[in-house]
Amino acid sequence: MTTLPAPAPPTATVAWRGWALTPSGLLASSTQKGVASGHWLPDLPHEARCLAGERDPSRTPCEHPPGEDCDCGIHAFALEALDWTTRADPVPAAALVDDLAGAILRSMSVVGLCALWGEVIEHAWGFRAELAYPAALALIPDSLLYRMEGLDIQDGLAERVAAIYHVPVSVIEGYHAPSWLREQAALLAEDRPTP
Ligand SMILES: [Zn+2]
């Protein structure tokens, strides 16, 4: 992979995140995997929705997610967050990232690079974005969610996901995910326009 897939613009921010996967091969945000509208559709930007009103009826959902004073938006980690936990000079967010990133790398059925664009709010360990599309994906059959979801790697699932989203899909073991993400990011960075 050397370019961002359509519909991501070439200037999109590249970050990483985890997804849940349906047996039909559709990606879903882990918090919305039972919700059809939470599925990421092929060839279309995934649009942020504000769920503030669903969790707390007294709150009004943001009209244009990601909202400044909310936690909505499509979440993804900064690429640097992969390195923070091993830095000699700790950054303040390192402990949080270690927990969060570690939990995602241990539990999610899919990890990958994700292009973010539209309104993108940067925070301590990553981003909340208005629009997103996967850029490279890895299925992790030894992850917790993968086993819980009853997914079967033998039935050509990786090929199906690649055909649905038109992005490269690897199958890796969970411990390999951080180095795989770094490799994919380096490949992508080689051919990207410098901002
Ligand atoms: Zn919101």
Domain count of the chain? 1
List, for residues 19-54, the tens digit of each pLDDT value. Answer: 999 888 999 987 665 666 689 999 999 999 898 888
* pLDDT score recorded for residue 85: 55
Q: How far is the CA of 56 from the centre of ligand 1 (A)?
A: 11
Instruction: Let me know if residue 1 belongs to a domain.
Output: no
**Residue 101: inside a domain:** yes
70 CA from centroid of ligand 1 (Å): 5
Domain that holds residue 30: 13-190
Any domain includes 58? yes
> Does 20 map to a domain?
yes
166 CA from centroid of ligand 1 (Å): 30
Is 7 inside any structural domain? no
Question: Does residue 6 lie within any of the structural domains?
Answer: no
- Number of residues that this document lists for the chain: 195
pLDDT tens digits, one per residue of 84-139:
655 555 555 556 566 677 777 778 899 999 999 999 999 888 999 999 999 999 99
Whole-number Å distance, alpha carbon 158 to ligand 1 midpoint, is 33
User: Ligand 1: distance of its center to the CA of 47 in Å?
Assistant: 13
In a domain, 164, yes or no: yes
pLDDT average, residue stretch 152-158 = 85
Report the separation in Å between the CA atom of 195 and the middle of ligand 1, taken as the mean of its atom positions.
Answer: 29
Residue 117 lies in a domain: yes
